Amino acid sequence: MKLISMRSGEETEAEITEMEEEDHERIALSGRFAFDWRKEKGNLVYKIRFIGREEILGLISLIDVPKEYRLHINLIESSIENQGKNKLIGRIPGCLIAYTARLAFYKGYAGFVSLRPKTELIDHYITAYGFRPQGIGLAIDQKASQALILKYLS
């Protein structure tokens, strides 16, 4: 998967791995993330970074809901410098969501991923990632998940 410099357009290989115990304190002290990621310790938490570098660029917290055959995105965040229209690095959330979709296939959930975003982000998730209203939140199914995997992880 590749992330892109918003200034130069240069693409750089990135990787997503499970968050490690020592990452929690490092993230809390960095001042680069608004949420307290220590509260997510009971969930599946993944980090994205450039290959060969330690700096964490984004995080995603997932809740496995096997009875409903889905993964739920509990929290997703890019580091402060990679948010908004003046971000330095692009594609961070897309890669994290696509990775979640791929995990949902591996778990036998047919790519089903759910999310309950802030109201002001609903349209963004629908437009940018193909989520659709589902109950009190949003969800992507097999087709949308496959499209995200092709776009962000290939």
Do you know the residue count of the chain? 154
Q: Which residue has the tokens 């982000």?
A: 121
What are the pLDDT digits (tens) for 60-107?
999 999 999 999 999 999 999 999 999 999 999 999 999 999 999 999
**Average pLDDT over all residues of the chain:** 95
pTM to 2 decimals? 0.96
CB atoms within 10 A of CB 134: 15
* Strand ranges for the chain from DSSP E: 2-5, 11-18, 44-50, 58-65, 70-78, 89-90, 113-115, 132-134, 137-140
3-class DSSP state of 96: helix
Please tell me the CATH superfamily of domain 2-153, with its number: Gcn5-related N-acetyltransferase (GNAT) (3.40.630.30)
Q: Report the percent of the chain where pLDDT is more than 70.
A: 100
Q: What are the residue ranges spanned by the domains of the chain?
A: 2-153
